Amino acid sequence: MSGQLKEVRERIKSVKSTQQITKAMKMVSAAKLRKAQQAIVQMRPYADKLNSMLVNILSNLEGDADVTFSKTREINKVAIIVVTSNKGLCGAFNANVIKSAIKTINESYSDQYNLGNLDIIAIGKKGGEFFRKNYPKANIVNDHVALVTDLTFENIEAAALSAMDKFAEGEYDRVDISYGRFRNAALQFPETIQFLPVPKLQGTKEEGKEAKVDYIFEPGKIELLEELVPSILKTTVQKCVYDTHASEHGARMTAMDNATENAEELLKELKINYNKARQEAITKELSEIVGGAAALNA
């Protein structure tokens, strides 16, 4: 019985130690989340407006401009930028982003994968590790591990250029981005979007005419677009990275909060079991004492 009590005491001690760790990780993630959430909330309207403007411009060129990053080609070689975190303990966040990328591969690029024409540009360690282990025919061309911890525009620009340059050279015919879109601390959802070529606006048809937005270009249209389009595309990648960064901390804070609550429930059960075992031990000892005393008096 003493061995059982010792085992329960050790278990209680272990759970308390784990609970302290999960509480600390929750507090750290909450502090980081505030900063990350502020960054994406401030950037998202700017990035969305730039992207909307870019799509409108390229959709209404009517063939009078040949912009490098809007060229549509037959899809032979594909790259997917997978944005995950470097660390785990954030629930199913990384797994969901990876599942979104896998779904896109299975539905749209299975032929390219089987032919070895699928490249994975991994931003974050978890995505790179998964595809390197489970998708041997995919080429892990870059593994931007440090970028997740140093979210400067220069680092993000380097990751974006690795895909943009190869698309401009004709090596890639299509580039997608899989990332975690941040909604709030408790809700993040995976998303895969087309990055290159820039998707054309479908528009709403009214009286047989497509919706069109006119822009005045100063200086010339071609010169301006060749400078403007790469800048907007880099901003799109930056938004995806910021989204994923905020989502990671939100998911980790939620996961650690759940883990702390589970530890509390487990401690209650262990304490009840400990008290029961202790009571049984005391009752047994008293019974032995009473039995011994009765034997002496007999």
CATH assignment at residue 261: 1.10.287.80
Distance, in Å, from the CA atom of 87 to the CA atom of 149, rounded to the nearest integer, reads 11
- Determine the longest span between alpha carbons in the chain, in angstroms: 116
Residues 149 and 7 both lie in one domain = no
CATH assignment at residue 103: 3.40.1380.10
Residue whose C-alpha is closest to residue 215's, from 65, 19, 46: 65
Residue 294 has pLDDT above 90, yes or no: no
Which is catalytic among the residues 58, 78, 90, 98? 90
Domain assignment present for residue 273? The answer is yes
What pLDDT is stored for residue 212 in this prediction? Answer: 56
Residues 103 and 191 both lie in one domain = yes
Domain assignment present for residue 107? The answer is yes
Decide: residue 9, CB within 10 A, 0-12 exposed, 13-18 middle, 19+ buried.
Answer: middle
Residues 227 and 122 both lie in one domain = yes
Residue whose C-alpha is closest to residue 169's, from 241, 239, 253, 77: 77
pLDDT tens digits for range 165-224: 999 999 999 999 999 999 888 888 999 999 999 887 554 444 444 455 566 777 767 777
What pLDDT is stored for residue 134 in this prediction? Answer: 95
Average pLDDT over residues 49-68: 70
Backbone angles phi, psi at 175, to 5 degrees: -130, 125
pLDDT tens digits for range 232-256: 899 999 999 999 999 999 999 999 9
Residues 15 and 154 both lie in one domain = no
Residues 33 and 125 both lie in one domain = yes
The answer to whether 244 touches 85, Cβ cutoff 8 Å, is: yes
Distance, in Å, from the CA atom of 177 to the CA atom of 162, rounded to the nearest integer, reads 13
Count the Cβ atoms, other than its own, within 10 Å of residue 262: 14
What pLDDT is stored for residue 207 in this prediction? Answer: 43
Residues 263 and 247 both lie in one domain = no
Distance, in Å, from the CA atom of 206 to the CA atom of 208, rounded to the nearest integer, reads 5
Per mean pLDDT, which range of 68-72, 269-273, 285-289 is the poorest?
285-289
The answer to whether 84 touches 129, Cβ cutoff 8 Å, is: no
| Beta bridge mates, 178 | 82, 192
Domain assignment present for residue 187? The answer is yes
Residues 189 and 266 both lie in one domain = no
Residues 36 and 151 both lie in one domain = yes
Coil/strand/helix, residue 77: coil
Give residue 10's identity as a one-letter amino acid code: E
Contacts of 232 (CB under 8 A, 6+ apart): 50, 51, 53, 54
Residues in the chain: 298
Residues 158 and 107 both lie in one domain = yes
Residues 243 and 268 both lie in one domain = no
| Beta bridge mates, 244 | none
Coil/strand/helix, residue 174: strand
What pLDDT is stored for residue 203 in this prediction? Answer: 47
Domain assignment present for residue 61? The answer is yes
Residues 9 and 62 both lie in one domain = no
Distance, in Å, from the CA atom of 98 to the CA atom of 182, rounded to the nearest integer, reads 16
pTM comes to: 0.84
Domain assignment present for residue 206? The answer is no
Count the Cβ atoms, other than its own, within 10 Å of residue 172: 24
Peptide bond into 219 cis (omega under 30): yes
Residue 226 has pLDDT above 80, yes or no: no
pLDDT tens digits for range 61-118: 655 445 788 888 899 999 999 999 998 889 899 999 999 999 999 999 999 999 999 9
Task: Provide the mean pLDDT of the chain.
Answer: 85
Residue 281 has pLDDT above 60, yes or no: yes
Domain assignment present for residue 281? The answer is yes
What pLDDT is stored for residue 64 in this prediction? Answer: 47
Distance, in Å, from the CA atom of 152 to the CA atom of 9, rounded to the nearest integer, reads 48
Average pLDDT over residues 52-69: 69
Q: Token pair of 229, please?
A: 């389009």
Range of the domain at 64: 28-201+217-253
Backbone angles phi, psi at 223, to 5 degrees: -60, -40
Residues 225 and 284 both lie in one domain = no
Give residue 89's identity as a one-letter amino acid code: L
Q: What is the count of structural domains for the chain? A: 2
What pLDDT is stored for residue 60 in this prediction? Answer: 66
Active-site residue, 90 included: yes
Per mean pLDDT, which range of 111-115, 260-264, 294-298 is the poorest?
294-298
Give residue 212's identity as a one-letter amino acid code: K
Domain assignment present for residue 126? The answer is yes
Give residue 80's identity as a one-letter amino acid code: I
Distance, in Å, from the CA atom of 167 to the CA atom of 77, rounded to the nearest integer, reads 10
Average pLDDT over residues 46-63: 76
Average pLDDT over residues 40-65: 77
Residue 293 has pLDDT above 60, yes or no: yes
What pLDDT is stored for residue 180 in this prediction? Answer: 94
Residue 32 has pLDDT above 70, yes or no: yes
Can you give the C-alpha Rg of the chain in angstroms?
29
Domain assignment present for residue 284? The answer is yes
